[in-house]
Structure 1
Amino acid sequence: MVTTERLRIYPTDAAQMKAAIAAAKDAGLKKAYEEMLAGCMAHPEQWDWYAMWVIELGDGRRIGDLCFKGLGRDGVAEIGYGIEEGYRGQGYATEAVRAALGWAFRHPAVVSIEAEAEADNAASQRVLDKCCFQASGLTGEEGPRFSRRRLGIESMLEVV
């Protein structure tokens, strides 16, 4: 579990992911959750790098989730995140991504974290900017790609 001033962020187990898949109304989100569970089952030794991570407020209200899409042998992982509509615009995504980066960069094998944000999703791109991601000039399935390299001090920080 990763905690911040306002949030608790933790990876889910198989039962929680199956429940999220069953509850997902959006086909794209359902597919993403299914891919996360498949990654967990294929790579149980890297469970946290494939699992859905719940983002909760201190009182236990779930406000979103995030995930890493595996950790490659090259030390690169991709992060994805989403905040429920009623909680957007309050800095929760930035806080959660910073905390997740702190967790990831405490692993010595991690060289960089990448992300994609749809071209018209200015809010998501702003989160990446606040978290020191740089545009890579590449475009992925979900839009422009961004990268955040290890700065060297993250492993000493609770939240970057």
Structure 2
Amino acid sequence: MTDLKVLETERLILTGWRADQLDDLVALHGDASTARYLSASGAPWTREQAESRLAVWMDEFANHRMGKLRVIRKSDGALVGRAGYSLYPPTGEPEIGYALYPEYRGAGYAREAAEGLRDWLFRETDWTHFIGFADVRNAASLKILRSIGMEPTKVAVDNGMECQFHVLRKAV
């Protein structure tokens, strides 16, 4: 098997997903508190939805060395959630996103992963910018986007939700 590690931060390791890790994704996105800001319905993902997304992320990882990645805590190997980039379908731009299991929220892991991803993208790829967005009611996620230097651009509907979009451009 190839090395699935993409990057490492002070406390975290981010790796690609494997098909045999589907149950981890079902547990994460099957949680109502995680799913509430991922779609207009706020419904937890079914196993089939998780399987479909996992296939997309594995494909993005294999073909672009990006995609949403597993976020693992170094100190004990615990899976704390997922973070990474997807290619935003309407524009093809990298779009940063993250979600953590409830018990790991509030410890700075999402921000640390987002900072690492920001630095990795500009260091390891030819991309000159990336976007991010969150439901306008998701104050915690919006705070993370701003904290890594992203600038608000517009409010628009995505996946049935009113979202605040952001962009971060590589300094030249």
Gaps of at least 5 residues in structure 1 are 153-160
Q: Which moved more, 1:2-11 or 1:137-146?
A: 137-146
State the alpha-carbon separation in 2 of the partners of residues 80 and 129 from structure 1. Answer: 13
* Contact map agreement 2:16 2:58 (CA 8 A) in 1: no
Render the CA deviation track for 1:118-146: whole Å, top value 9, x for unaligned.
11111111111110011011424151111
Render the CA deviation track for 1:33-73: whole Å, top value 9, x for unaligned.
62341364488422x323x311111110111111311288x
* Contact map agreement 1:9 1:53 (CA 8 A) in 2: yes
Render the CA deviation track for 1:85-109: whole Å, top value 9, x for unaligned.
1221221111010011122112342
* Contact map agreement 1:39 1:70 (CA 8 A) in 2: no
Shift of 1:5: 1.4
Please name the residue that 1:70 is paired with. Answer: 87
Measured at CA, do residues 25 and 15 of structure 1 come closer, stay the same or move farther in structure 2, by a change above 3 Å?
Answer: same
Query: Structure 1 length as normaliser, TM-score?
Result: 0.76
Please name the residue that 1:91 is paired with. Answer: 108
State the alpha-carbon separation in 2 of the partners of residues 36 and 20 from structure 1. Answer: 10
Measured at CA, do residues 33 and 113 of structure 1 come closer, stay the same or move farther in structure 2, by a change above 3 Å?
Answer: farther
Please name the residue that 1:134 is paired with. Answer: 151
Please state if 1:109 is matched with 2:126: yes
Please name the residue that 1:55 is paired with. Answer: 71
Please name the residue that 2:170 is paired with. Answer: 150
How many residue pairs get matched? 148
Measured at CA, do residues 43 and 104 of structure 1 come closer, stay the same or move farther in structure 2, by a change above 3 Å?
Answer: closer
Amino acid at match of 1:57: R
The share of aligned pairs that are identical, in percent, is 24
Measured at CA, do residues 33 and 20 of structure 1 come closer, stay the same or move farther in structure 2, by a change above 3 Å?
Answer: farther
Amino acid at match of 2:156: T
State the alpha-carbon separation in 1 of the partners of residues 110 and 60 from structure 2. Answer: 28
Select the residue among 34, 39, 43 that pairs with 2:52. Answer: 34
State the alpha-carbon separation in 1 of the partners of residues 101 and 93 from structure 2. Answer: 27
Please name the residue that 1:8 is paired with. Answer: 13
* Contact map agreement 1:66 1:80 (CA 8 A) in 2: yes
Q: Secondary structure at the match of 1:38?
A: helix
Amino acid at match of 2:144: V
